[in-house]
Chains A and B, each alone.
Chain A
Amino acid sequence: MAIVTGKRNLLSHLAAHAGILIFLALVLFPFFMIISISLRPGNFAVGSLIPPEISFEHWKLALGISYEDAHGNLINPPFPVLTWLWNSVKIATITAFLILALSTTSAYAFARMKFRFKGAVLNSILLLQMFPAALTLIAIFSIFDTLGEYIPWLGVDTHGGLILSYLGGIALHVWTIKGYFESIPVDIEEAASVDGANTFQTFLYVLLPMAVPILMVVFVLAFIGTLIEYPVASILLHQEDNLTLAVGSKLFLYEQNYLWGDFAAAAVLSGLPITAVFLLAQKWIVSGLTVGGSKG
């Protein structure tokens, strides 16, 4: 802090810290609760935050390890949680990359190229996206059911089909990236084209490197969005081995028996890839990449 502040600020500092602590508690409490549930023996949703007794039974099941219960019965993992996790990460990564590729290129077209009906197209893709996805589920199912008859690897119960269905949801990302592109002075790209670069080279070597922060933001958002997506995945995927973690972990909560402990362990597990991706992306999300190119 370089700026000089008076003594009176001490009070407001304390107030600010108190506010932040309260906010943190609000955010973190459910998280600690989940961890606590996953470490408690038995499947109980309620109980004290700090479990009186710690047991790794739920984690063993989540990680696919069998264990012996108090009566000496061998309990096998009911579901392939690790496979689900792998499915989720695979689908989310591929989807995020494809979304990034599609939305940057279309954002480039919308931000920099001139064509007819640009404004109309731009607005209508956004409006169409507003339509709740849950209401289109039947349509999505029948589309992919039919598609699967011609291209099997894009049909129902395939990861290819699911990824393809996610690629429809790029309108918001296109808008985000387009807004960022438009904030970059166009004369830098003009300089590149005078330097002999064609449109694609200008896009690749000049515009994209300056847009890295927003690309990272979009990647993270797309990754998280895909990882936690439930409705579409739940109707397109059926076989147990094919499920994503978001769909699969719901199986712990069947009518007669809510396996809260196993569910909690799976939930914590599904948070790990998000954390990892976010930590990786964070160092690229920096400001000021476009400073210094143009005068004024």
Chain B
Amino acid sequence: MPEATLCDDVLKVAFPAIQQNAPVCEKSSHFVVPKDLLPAITHYLHTQPNFRGRLTLLWACDHRPVRDTYGLYYLFTLVGSHHWVVLSTELIGNDRLFPSITPHIHAAHWYEREIRDMFGLIPQGHPDLRRLVRHEHWPKGTHPLRKDFPWDRVLGRQQGEHHFRHIEGEGVFIVPVGPIHAGIIESGHFRFSVAGEPIMQLELRHFWKHRGVEKLFEQQTLIDALPLAERVSGDTTVGHSLAYCQAVETLLHLEVPRRAQYLRSLFLELERLSNHLGDIGAMCNDTAYALAHAHCGRMKERIMQLNDRLTGSRFLRGAIRVGGVTRDIDNGRLTEIVEELNRIQPDFSEVGAIIFANASLTDRLETTGILHERTAWDHAVMGVVGRASGMNCDLRRDRPFAAYDALPVNVALYRYGDVRARLRVRGDEIHESIRLIRELRGKIPDGPIANEPSCSPNPGDWTLSAVEGWRGEILYMVMAGEGGRIHRCKVRDPSFVNWPAIQWAVLGNIIPDFPLINKSFNLSYAGNDL
């Protein structure tokens, strides 16, 4: 790609001290950067008009026992070319400090705090060094992802209290909510400061559900860890398992048969359909419009039952495997799917028309919970929430995986960034998914559905993989260890990036609208907390 080599050259000219390494996956470049240069080069990548790098992932890795170093990796997506630039640096020996990039790239905020908690590396100059993943009752010095921390350590308890940001003044009230909520939703804590009705500040406190997923990955082999990936966030079973499998396949140099690629796209779209249908219903329910909720719940249930008939799991668990898929969907079945969707589509269109014709509903949705384009960009927000705020990104189009190179996707894009825009993105994507599945049935080739892995990975090899799940970009970084095991697996659900943005979207809204705004984001707590 000429464009890509061009950007590599520009970087090398601007920063002669950096050194280029072999790329870790397609459409990417990898540079080793001296530690002190990090803030300058990340700032350059982020702000230069011809780069406009969006911080996509930031992770650390404990290289012991092989080398006595910690690695830090920064992944940027260049907005124009969708090219990936990985910057890496190493902290050698007892060095535990690295320069924070949060002061000029806000999206790094949670990543750096996470690294501090999990590895004990300290981002110097970070504006907020409170604990993130480890709640205050965790004993001092517990850094679970360090290699000398046993995975089955029994944690003690210490005294400690989380200090929330505090707003003072006459008539300012603090409203704490959670971790256990009123509906059937996951656990998380929200703390509102209100003066009168409008929200002045919202602070999130998450990671109640931290299960140690990344550490558990390190106890498994590349092939056996798949069920764990499926359980990172249950509603995104296909997205996570697909992203994980793609990473492993790159490490094993395993080719996936074409038919399996198509079936993977099919499963991903079915997952998107069921979740978007559920979300639209739930958003209407939060405005007390139970009718739409009931209709959407019914349609979602039909897709879930379809999933069950196809694969024996309502969440399509166990449908994808390393090297392909586990079961073939023959052409008769494909026709059955399309027929079912042909029935659902007009049904949904009708419900959609009813929803948007309802003035009182529109009143609740419009101008509620606006996430401005600028805020979305600063937080590197993507996925459904990003596309409702003008972030024109969709990996299915930008970096095609599975069968999307042959199935062009029309990306739904809105600019208002309010709840209604997020509802509309979902509505459009439902129609688009149905269209894709129809197109897919016409194009799917015959052939095998899986290849067996034949070689074992080289210890120390690593790769990245990205999938556009129904929420947004799911990223996996998998590094192979000795004997086919996993040395490090970094999982990033889109929720981790989008959660902080909600703190800005609610400002000025009233608390009764918060459930609605939260539902319109519909982020995963499990995928965030890991």
Whether A and B are associated in the same complex: the answer reads no
Task: Give chain A's interface residues, CB within 8 Å of chain B.
Answer: none
Task: Give chain B's interface residues, CB within 8 Å of chain A.
Answer: none
